[in-house]
């Protein structure tokens, strides 16, 4: 049966830009998968998604006009019920009549009528009567209707609109439809033929609409499914493919920056690029500029207002500093673009002026003068004000600073923690909450504070997201740790825990930040002491005792972080098992040692032996681990004892020196004596003294083997 390519398009009003790419991919994927499931398209059919501000479309290759007929076989009933004296029973006749095939009983035993056939076959237990038939393939019209209904139903619509149809009933506007935006057109082409399907009150046709202002014709007729993209580009002035439109914007941005010269480059922002791609149908990048005087304002403020409010691409110079030029992605391409450029420059000027005004006004008050005002800002109704929170963060920061750097670091951390939240009371942060911390750093420098304090105030929110940089100095690290630990303890203590995909207080991000700072910063801090310190700064009775759940939560985030770094679950479990509440700074070296150990030929046997030893010791009575050499009767236990005396001290010395890899590798020499021990020695001897001595030997061995990692967790 011949196959042709299929094109389906929904033409709608402007779709939500931040959701457009996801909507386009979902529409094409669900539509194609449904066609494949119905046998109308091959499993490896090429699928192309299209998504522009006013359309969702999908092109599916090799779609059949009718699905292939499939042979089927259904069990009717056991022969003991279906046949009597070799003839069909009344039960079988009724069953066949209900299926519209009563005549097959009359043809028995030659019960064949075209593709229908009654046969007797064994089902593995007993014989039964089966009906073999041929299931008719679904027609494209019916199958595409099912697929289209599924695609619309399963769209990840952020918010549904209810709108009224203009026709289709006696009273215009009476019928209502729910969709992401009002739909005004439906195209369904199989090759050059229209497939008669319906959706959202629309009948399928073979024409669409192009650019609102620049299309050569309206409507735009489509000759066939394969000319869709080219026809829209040439006659409709629309680049239908999201990916192609995005690539064209990237190309034009780079070209425009090159024309400006001076090594300029547009700011990199993937989310902004996706959003702008979803706002235009045929992009045209233009160069605009603003007055030099606005560059006196911190560039973060100007960049944010241009990106967030206007969807512009600021231009940076070769040193990464903001210039007074920016790029606009226009949706029109006039011969003379001066009016478009001038309009965008006029629009951005008041926003930049507001930013300059906020910056100038904020600098009239010092950060220190704003500290008292934090006591009037509610942080959380169960946790008090921002002022109270700052005092808790200060207490944690001073304790950590004292441990890491003595009095000097403790004083610096205290100062930074006291001022870190004051920029929340500034006009600039009130207008742009994303700049909290950043503006505090600028205002700290204006107040004459040191760079260490300014950096710490700016960085104490870091890392803000996965892959973000860590604080740049020790003061910032201390305050960032204190801030995150206070948040985690407070929220856990009042029961505000993450659930499923909901984490309104970003506790997972805070926990990951703690893990990254402890590990990547190689901080000599005991993890369990930090969580207990965080709980201790809250007033008695304010929090529930949830320190253990918080420990477990942090450990799970640590495991996720390590697995994302390329380590297996077994490696992570082995390295963390004994040290999960200790110094996390040693974890990378432990993991490296585990990976090196696994490469040794002795590793599998030692891991299995370690697991066996652990199981033996779990069942044994608690006793000491002092070995009496005089009670070592068997040659194999004497040999193991001697091998341990020769090997373990060196392995322990390497461990104490922090060379975990060498420590584990030294223990590889124990493989042969360990194997011989289990082959030739009965641990559970009848003599209680011998049994206790052998258990003590195994305890010593178990402890020596598990100092770096729990090797049993590496066993297959």
**Is 457 in the same domain as 443?**
yes
Counted domains in the chain: 5
Task: Indicate whether 378 belongs to any domain.
Answer: no
**Is 317 in the same domain as 412?**
no
Report pLDDT for 166.
65
Closest by Cα among 224, 285, 237 to 259? 285
For the segment 689-695, the average pLDDT, to the nearest whole number, is 89
For the segment 339-367, the average pLDDT, to the nearest whole number, is 96
Give the pLDDT confidence of 530-543 residue by residue, as tens digits.
999 999 999 998 99
Residue 170 has pLDDT above 70, yes or no: no
Name residues whose C-beta falls within 8 Å of residue 301's C-beta, 6 or more positions apart in sequence: 355, 358, 359, 428, 432, 435, 439
**Is 159 in the same domain as 259?**
no
Give the pLDDT confidence of 186-201 residue by residue, as tens digits.
999 999 999 999 999 8
Task: Indicate whether 607 belongs to any domain.
Answer: yes
**Is 425 in the same domain as 497?**
yes
**Is 45 in the same domain as 164?**
yes
Task: Indicate whether 192 belongs to any domain.
Answer: yes
How does strand 116-122 pair with strand 207-208? Answer: unpaired
Burial of residue 122 (CB within 10 Å: 0-12, 13-18, 19+) is exposed
Percentage of residues in the chain having pLDDT higher than 90: 68
Report pLDDT for 119.
87
**Is 257 in the same domain as 178?**
no
Report pLDDT for 362.
97
Report pLDDT for 171.
47
Phi, psi of 655 (to 5 degrees): -65, -50
Residue 168 has pLDDT above 60, yes or no: no
How does strand 55-64 pair with strand 83-84? Answer: unpaired
**Is 647 in the same domain as 561?**
no
- In 335-385, the DSSP E strands lie at 378-380, 384-385
Report pLDDT for 715.
82
Taking the mean position of all CA atoms in its chain, how far away is CA 67? 38
- Gap between the Cα atoms of 321 and 306, Å rounded: 15
Report pLDDT for 227.
96
CATH of the domain at 666: 1.10.730.10
3-state secondary structure 159-210: CCEEEECCCCCCCCCCCEEEECCCEEEEEEEECCEECCCEECCEECECEECC
For the chain, what is the radius of gyration of the CA atoms? 36
For the segment 56-81, the average pLDDT, to the nearest whole number, is 88
Task: Indicate whether 222 belongs to any domain.
Answer: yes
Higher per-residue confidence, 177 vs 310: 310
**End-of-domain residue from the set 170, 205, 235:** 235
Task: Indicate whether 311 belongs to any domain.
Answer: yes
Residue 225 has pLDDT above 70, yes or no: yes
Which tokens go with 635? 């040659």
Percentage of residues in the chain having pLDDT higher than 70: 98
Residue 405 has pLDDT above 90, yes or no: yes
Q: Which helix (H) or strand (E) holds 5?
A: strand 3-12
Minimum mean pLDDT range among 164-178, 223-237, 439-453: 164-178
Task: Indicate whether 582 belongs to any domain.
Answer: no
Residue 580 has pLDDT above 60, yes or no: no
**Is 51 in the same domain as 164?**
yes
* Angle, CA 464 vertex, CA 414 and CA 531 arms, to 5°: 55
Determine the 3-state secondary structure of 522 from DSSP.
coil
For the segment 370-375, the average pLDDT, to the nearest whole number, is 96
For the segment 295-302, the average pLDDT, to the nearest whole number, is 95
**Is 429 in the same domain as 557?**
yes
User: Where does residue 580 fall: left (phi above 0), alpha (psi -120 to 50 degrees), or beta otherwise?
Assistant: alpha
Minimum mean pLDDT range among 122-126, 205-209, 466-470, 551-555: 122-126
**Is 433 in the same domain as 556?**
yes
- Gap between the Cα atoms of 113 and 130, Å rounded: 14
Report pLDDT for 151.
95
Split at pLDDT 50, 70, 90, the class of 623 is low
- Gap between the Cα atoms of 346 and 290, Å rounded: 9
Task: Indicate whether 144 belongs to any domain.
Answer: yes
Give the pLDDT confidence of 595-610 residue by residue, as tens digits.
998 888 888 888 888 8
| Range of the structural domain that residue 306 is part of | 242-362
Split at pLDDT 50, 70, 90, the class of 581 is low
**Is 450 in the same domain as 557?**
yes
**End-of-domain residue from the set 84, 106, 135:** 135
**Is 603 in the same domain as 676?**
yes
Higher per-residue confidence, 105 vs 643: 643
Higher per-residue confidence, 543 vs 174: 543
Report pLDDT for 329.
97
**Helix 547-564 / helix 474-493 crossing angle, nearest 10 deg:** 130
Closest by Cα among 283, 234, 278, 280 to 255? 283
Minimum mean pLDDT range among 23-32, 45-54, 110-119: 110-119
For the segment 307-330, the average pLDDT, to the nearest whole number, is 95
Minimum mean pLDDT range among 48-52, 125-129, 509-513, 578-582: 578-582
Task: Indicate whether 398 belongs to any domain.
Answer: yes
Contact (CB, 8 A) for 276 and 329 = yes
**End-of-domain residue from the set 112, 135, 158:** 135
Report pLDDT for 366.
97
For the segment 623-643, the average pLDDT, to the nearest whole number, is 87
Between the ranges 174-188, 405-419, 683-697, where is the mean pLDDT highest? 405-419
Look over the chain and give the mean of its residue pLDDT values, rounded to a whole number.
91
Split at pLDDT 50, 70, 90, the class of 426 is very high
Residue 327 has pLDDT above 60, yes or no: yes
Q: What's the pTM?
A: 0.79
Contact (CB, 8 A) for 596 and 614 = no
Report pLDDT for 77.
87
Report pLDDT for 137.
77
Closest by Cα among 571, 601, 602, 600 to 588? 571
Contact (CB, 8 A) for 140 and 195 = yes
């Amino acid at each position: 049966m011949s196959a042709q390519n299929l094109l389906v398009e929904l033409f709608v009003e402007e779709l939500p830009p931040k959701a457009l790419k996801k909507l386009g991919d979902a529409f094409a994927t669900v539509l194609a998968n449904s066609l494949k499931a119905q046998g109308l398209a091959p499993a490896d059919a090429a699928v192309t998604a299209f998504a522009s501000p006013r359309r969702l479309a999908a092109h599916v290759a090799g779609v059949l006009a009718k699905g292939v007929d499939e042979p089927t076989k259904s069990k009717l009933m056991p022969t003991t019920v279906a046949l009597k004296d070799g003839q069909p029973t009344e039960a079988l006749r009724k069953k066949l009549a209900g299926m519209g095939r009563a005549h097959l009983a009359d043809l028995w035993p030659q019960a064949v009528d075209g593709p229908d056939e009654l046969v007797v076959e064994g089902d593995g237990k007993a014989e039964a009567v089966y009906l073999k038939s041929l299931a008719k393939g679904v027609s494209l019209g019916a199958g595409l209707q099912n697929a289209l209904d599924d695609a619309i139903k399963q769209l990840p619509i952020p918010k549904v609109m209810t709108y009224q149809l203009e026709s289709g009933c006696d009273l215009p506007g009476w019928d209502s439809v729910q969709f992401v935006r009002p739909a005004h057109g439906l195209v369904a082409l199989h090759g050059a033929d229209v497939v008669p399907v319906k959706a959202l009150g629309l009948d399928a046709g073979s024409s669409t609409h192009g650019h609102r202002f620049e299309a050569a014709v309206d409507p735009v007729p489509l000759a066939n499914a394969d000319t869709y993209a080219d026809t829209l580009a040439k006659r409709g002035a629309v680049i239908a493919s999201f990916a192609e439109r995005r690539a064209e914007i990237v190309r034009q941005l780079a070209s425009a920056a090159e024309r400006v010269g001076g090594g300029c480059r547009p700011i990199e922002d993937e989310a902004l690029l996706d959003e702008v791609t979803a706002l235009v149908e045929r992009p045209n990048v233009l160069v605009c500029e603003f007055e030099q005087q606005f560059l006196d304002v911190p560039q973060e403020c100007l960049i944010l207002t241009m990106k967030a409010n206007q969807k512009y691409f600021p231009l940076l110079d070769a040193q990464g500093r903001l210039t007074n030029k920016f790029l606009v992605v226009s949706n029109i391409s006039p011969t003379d673009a001066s009016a478009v450029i001038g309009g965008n420059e006029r629009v951005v000027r008041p926003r930049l002026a507001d930013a300059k005004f906020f910056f100038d006004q904020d600098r009239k008050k010092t950060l220190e003068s704003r500290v008292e005002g934090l006591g009037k800002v509610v942080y959380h109704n169960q946790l008090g004000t921002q002022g109270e929170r700052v005092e808790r963060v200060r207490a944690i920061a001073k304790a950590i600073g004292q441990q890491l750097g003595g009095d000097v670091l403790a004083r610096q951390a205290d100062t930074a923690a006291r001022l870190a939240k004051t920029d929340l009371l500034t006009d600039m942060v009130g207008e742009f909450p994303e700049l909290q911390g950043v503006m505090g750093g600028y205002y700290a420098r204006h107040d004459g504070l040191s760079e260490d304090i300014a950096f710490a105030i700016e960085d104490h929110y870091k890392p803000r997201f996965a892959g973000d940089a860590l604080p740049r100095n020790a003061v910032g690290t201390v305050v960032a740790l204190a801030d995150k630990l206070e948040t985690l303890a407070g929220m856990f203590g009042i029961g505000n825990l993450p659930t499923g995909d909901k984490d309104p207080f970003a506790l997972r991000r805070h926990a990951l930040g703690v893990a990254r700072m402890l590990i990547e910063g190689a901080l000599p801090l005991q993890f369990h002491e930090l969580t207990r310190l965080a709980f201790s700064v809250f007033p008695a009775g304010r929090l529930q005792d949830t320190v253990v759940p918080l420990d477990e939560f942090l450990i799970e985030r640590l495991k996720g972080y390590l697995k994302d770094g390329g380590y297996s679950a077994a490696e992570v479990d082995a390295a963390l098992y004994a040290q999960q509440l200790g110094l996390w700074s040693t974890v990378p070296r432990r993991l490296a040692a585990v990976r090196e150990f696994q490469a040794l030929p002795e590793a599998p046997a030692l891991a299995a032996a370690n697991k066996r030893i652990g199981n033996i010791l779990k069942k044994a009575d608690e006793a000491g681990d002092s070995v009496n050499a005089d009670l070592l009767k068997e040659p194999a236990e004497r040999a193991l004892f001697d091998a341990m005396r020769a090997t373990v001290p060196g392995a322990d010395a390497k461990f104490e020196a922090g060379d975990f890899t060498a420590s584990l590798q030294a223990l590889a020499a124990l493989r042969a004596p360990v194997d011989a021990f289990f082959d030739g020695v009965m641990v559970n001897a009848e003599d209680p003294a011998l049994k206790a001595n052998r258990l003590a030997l195994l305890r010593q061995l178990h402890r020596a083997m598990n100092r770096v990692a729990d090797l049993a967790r590496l066993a297959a």
